[in-house]
């Protein structure tokens, strides 16, 4: 019998927790979430690869910030990224693609 491939974790999206007072102050006044944390990314994915994936999913030019933190030692990403969309409706549409 052929061995089954291990199931890879699916990407997840959520609003990031406010890490400090400065981050909390940066939240929109109306309380609408526009920045999402995308988790379970392949560790080999580059920032450009993530941008290509955003384009493939139909979100080209609908965001203004992509941050993909990397580890100092390996230069690989840490499995998550932050994406800021132009408005809360677009952010919600993106998050809806990745149900928990």
Contact in structure between 77 and 38 (CB atoms under 8 Å): no
Higher pLDDT, 44 or 19: 44
What's the pLDDT at 9?
Answer: 58
Q: What is the pTM of this model?
A: 0.71
Q: Which of 80, 74, 75, 86 is nearest to 50 (CA)?
A: 80
pLDDT of residue 45 exceeding 70, the answer is yes
Instruction: List the domains of the chain with CATH numbers.
Output: 12-16+31-96 (3.30.70.330)
């Amino acid at each position: 019998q052929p061995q089954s491939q291990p199931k890879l974790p699916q990407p997840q999206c959520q609003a990031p927790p406010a890490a400090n007072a400065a981050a909390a102050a940066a939240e929109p006044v109306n309380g609408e979430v526009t920045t999402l944390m995308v988790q379970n990314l392949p560790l080999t994915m580059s920032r450009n690869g993530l941008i290509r994936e955003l384009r493939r999913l139909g979100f080209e030019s609908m965001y203004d910030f992509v941050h993909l933190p990397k580890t100092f030692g390996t230069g690989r990403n840490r499995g998550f990224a932050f994406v800021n969309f132009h408005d809360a409706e677009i952010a919600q549409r993106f998050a809806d693609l990745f149900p928990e």
